[in-house]
Structure 1
């Protein structure tokens, strides 16, 4: 079952509007029961919000650059890069429905996104260190991007598998989040740069 969404402002970055599920809708142990992946894209997560806010406040990070938003979800970080004047923005996610949602959200904000950027200058990744299986894969991918010359920014609210030793903290935000998802009203979330 897919969630009903409505175009709403992002709490930490109200300049951006996304098609989002209701803040009271539960994702885990809630209304979604199917063989399809859970609709993570219907929610705006703390890591993506923090990246979006950081870019909107520091547009030079993205202006004129080829940007890749990894594990895009709703597309919020890539959309922020586009609003900052990125030369191009590509979004990727293991869930094709997330890529479709990111495209729809980008269009709602006047931003164009592509499916791939083989040579990114800026890589964005929000909330990607959420499991012991995914964290090493994501770490390898991001380190390869950094080795190839890209700047890598990660938004992480302390998900538990974040390899902090590889990063330097750029800034922190207190991010409003749905209590139905996070069991709290806000999360302190860092924006980190891969060394």
Structure 2
């Protein structure tokens, strides 16, 4: 049985890291149309039971075939894009509640997954949004989620942008990205570069997992908002009760 808990970065950080670093073998399905059809057949449209009921997403639920299938039958890299993580939920909720934060901004959604934070930014009036996830299947899933919410697909980038030259982003969004120390350290260095080079604002969504407390980046975070998680989200996340949005500022 393949349970959602098998993918939790809070408790299975090493497994998540391996999944994040493994390339998706799209050749097994061939065309983008085939991948799209596979996603349509193996996800369910969900619009409730989250912090952002106004956003619809294609996600894994107990009604989906691969929720119960053996993991080795899944043809791609681990489908983190099919889960609406609690940090991403808080980030999207904050953007919808505070539209001034993204309005008219050039936004990068780093580790975009299902694209909920990017969708929230666009619904809040951002000038343009780039979604970035190293899993190319996530980019296709994000296109489908844009369609569900009446938006044109976002430009997408599947190369790892961490460490790359800053591209003039006004706002960088990161949901549930701080699950591994090495990744957190590389983000810490790169985000400082983006902020100092072009004054980028950086917002982080995270439910305050124990691992975050141990990272040196924690002392550079200022909490902007905290949201109580709906019952269904608590159950899926081993009893986590809330999720927060943090402003990352290396001068703190």
After TM superposition, the score normalised by the length of structure 1 is 0.87
Instruction: Indicate conservation of the 8 Å contact 1:24/1:178, yes or no.
Output: no
What is the match of residue 113 of structure 2?
A: 73
How many angstroms does 1:166 deviate by? 0.9
| Distance in 2 (alpha carbons) for counterparts of 1:54 and 1:46 | 12
1:170 alignment partner, one of 206, 224, 237:
224
Instruction: Indicate conservation of the 8 Å contact 1:145/1:152, yes or no.
Output: no
- Residue-by-residue CA offset, 1:30-77 (whole Å, 9 max, x unaligned): 742257321010010001100110010000001111111000011010
What is the match of residue 179 of structure 1?
A: 235
User: What number of residue pairs does the alignment pair up?
Assistant: 193
Q: Secondary structure at the match of 1:133?
A: helix
Indicate the structure with greater helix content.
2
Q: Secondary structure at the match of 2:172?
A: strand
Q: How has the CA–CA distance of structure 1 residues 45 and 37 changed in structure 2, closer, same or farther, with 3 Å as cutoff?
A: same
Gaps of 5+ in 1: none
2:85 alignment partner, one of 29, 35, 45:
45
What is the match of residue 32 of structure 1?
A: 71
| Distance in 1 (alpha carbons) for counterparts of 2:148 and 2:75 | 29
Q: Is 1:152 paired with 2:202?
A: yes
Q: How has the CA–CA distance of structure 1 residues 81 and 100 changed in structure 2, closer, same or farther, with 3 Å as cutoff?
A: same
Gaps of 5+ in 2: 1-37, 158-165
Q: Is 1:84 paired with 2:124?
A: yes
Q: Secondary structure at the match of 2:241?
A: strand
Indicate the structure with greater strand content.
1
| Distance in 1 (alpha carbons) for counterparts of 2:177 and 2:62 | 21
| Distance in 1 (alpha carbons) for counterparts of 2:185 and 2:54 | 33
Q: How has the CA–CA distance of structure 1 residues 132 and 80 changed in structure 2, closer, same or farther, with 3 Å as cutoff?
A: same
| Distance in 2 (alpha carbons) for counterparts of 1:31 and 1:178 | 25
Q: How has the CA–CA distance of structure 1 residues 119 and 21 changed in structure 2, closer, same or farther, with 3 Å as cutoff?
A: same
1:105 alignment partner, one of 117, 120, 145:
145
| Distance in 2 (alpha carbons) for counterparts of 1:73 and 1:191 | 17
RMSD across aligned positions (CA):
2.6
Q: Is 1:21 paired with 2:60?
A: yes
After TM superposition, the score normalised by the length of structure 2 is 0.69
